[in-house]
Amino acid sequence: MSQIGMSGLQASQAWLNVTASNIANANTPGYSRHSLMTTTNADGTVSIDGVQRISDQYLVAQAWDAGTEVGYTGAYAGYMLALENTFATDGGNLGMGLDGYFAALSSCMADPGNTALREDVLNTARELCNQMTNIDGNLENQIDQVNKSMQAMVQEVNSLTKQIADLNMQIQEGMTSGQDVSALQDQRDVAVLQLSEMLDVSVIDCGDGTIQVTLPQGQPLVSQGEAATLGFSSGTQPSDGKLELQFGDDVYYLNPDIGGALGATYEYYQEELIPAQAYVDEFAQEFADAMNSWQVVGYDLNGNPGKPMFTYDPADPAGTIEVADGFTNADLAFASSPTGGAGDNSNLQNMLNVQNQSFVFDSLGGGSFSLNDSYNAVYSHVASAASSAREAYEMAMSTMEQAYYSWSSVSGVNMDEEAMSLMTYQQNYVANAQVIATSDELFATVMNMF
């Protein structure tokens, strides 16, 4: 009887410790509720078999997947919103700039020699150039920020994969020596969750206490105690940015479709940001070349041969385009002949026709567009993609909330249940202590009989 009471007392104490741990860690991220495993023996005593970690790996995997989607859609939505704002604001709305410039040209048709109207053409030309340089500057800033974000996320991925690999070995060693490794398993699950927010990962339980983590296409991230190393090289040109993964002697070059926040950043960088910059450069070059081509075949207000109105650096058209230094309103070559006089607007009409001229844009897949239509096509794509990204993020958040609720319902700590358990195990402890006391009294009574 005494042995039964003593084993019950020890079990009650162990239950109290487990319950106390659950309560203390109720708000610890990734903590899985613990339960004591006991066995009833043939002699009526109770044996403590260990502490069980309450976890459904299917629900954990769902939470990882949800985290990946939230990481991806959240990052992508933020980037697309920034790109949309770049093209939508007055300082970046090329459609408005073009309309203003060609409206100023059109106003000169009735009185091409009017210096005030000609000056307005120069002013709107400068405003349009400023819009192009503003967009280029914003895109350059975004490229710089994305490069820095990529480098930071790569470092975080490398830190997490190393942490998972280290925990793999600690868990394996602990299980071999019979230690309680539940806390280490919780830490590893949290690390995988954080990694899944960066990348889309596949996780395989190896059955020996370790897990293998790979990208969906099979490239290894963690195996046993070995972790891969991720690297990002920005290159000499923005479009040269590359992600590479090294595992042992093997090197894998990664495509943008790797999921998570890192995948979203890489995809945005390669498929949206670099093409947007290429478009603005192409727009600036086509506009300047088209207008200059008519300027140089016409004659200015003084009957002199026309000269180029716009200048730019071919290596950075949008970032350097401007009205040529020293170019005045008298230099606008609206006339088609040196004797046409101030009222000659025949070449001006050629300049106005540029508004409806079609240009082949390599940055838009080789399609033919007018300048205004090209901007509308780009902005429409960006605005639609930004809207879709926001909707996808909202859906991903809803899915993640559901996944976390499902996980919490199994593995999370319910404070009401733990409070009731605490009272029950306290009563059990007292009752088992009473069993021991009763056993002692019976033993003393028996001894006093002799």
* Residue extents of the structural domains in the chain: 2-54+414-448, 57-411
**What does the pLDDT average to over 98-117?**
96
pLDDT digits (tens, 9 = 90+) for 250-305: 999 888 889 999 999 999 998 999 999 999 999 999 999 999 999 999 999 999 99
Q: Is 171 left (phi over 0), alpha (psi -120 to 50) or beta?
A: alpha
Handedness of CA 327, 333, 339, 343 (dihedral sign): negative
**What does the pLDDT average to over 368-392?**
95
Q: What confidence score (pLDDT) does residue 236 get?
A: 47
On average, the pLDDT of the chain sits at 88
Q: What confidence score (pLDDT) does residue 240 get?
A: 62
The pTM (predicted TM-score) of the whole model is 0.81
201 pLDDT exceeds 50?
yes
Q: What confidence score (pLDDT) does residue 13 get?
A: 83
Residues 6+ apart with CB under 8 A from 351: 105, 291, 294, 295, 334
CA distance 141 to 381: 21
**What does the pLDDT average to over 316-324?**
97
CA distance 124 to 128: 6
pLDDT digits (tens, 9 = 90+) for 113-147: 999 999 999 999 999 999 999 999 999 999 999 98
Residues 6+ apart with CB under 8 A from 127: 97, 100, 101
**What does the pLDDT average to over 437-447?**
67
**What does the pLDDT average to over 109-114?**
94
pLDDT digits (tens, 9 = 90+) for 221-232: 999 999 999 998
23 pLDDT exceeds 60?
yes
CA distance 448 to 330: 129
428 pLDDT exceeds 90?
no
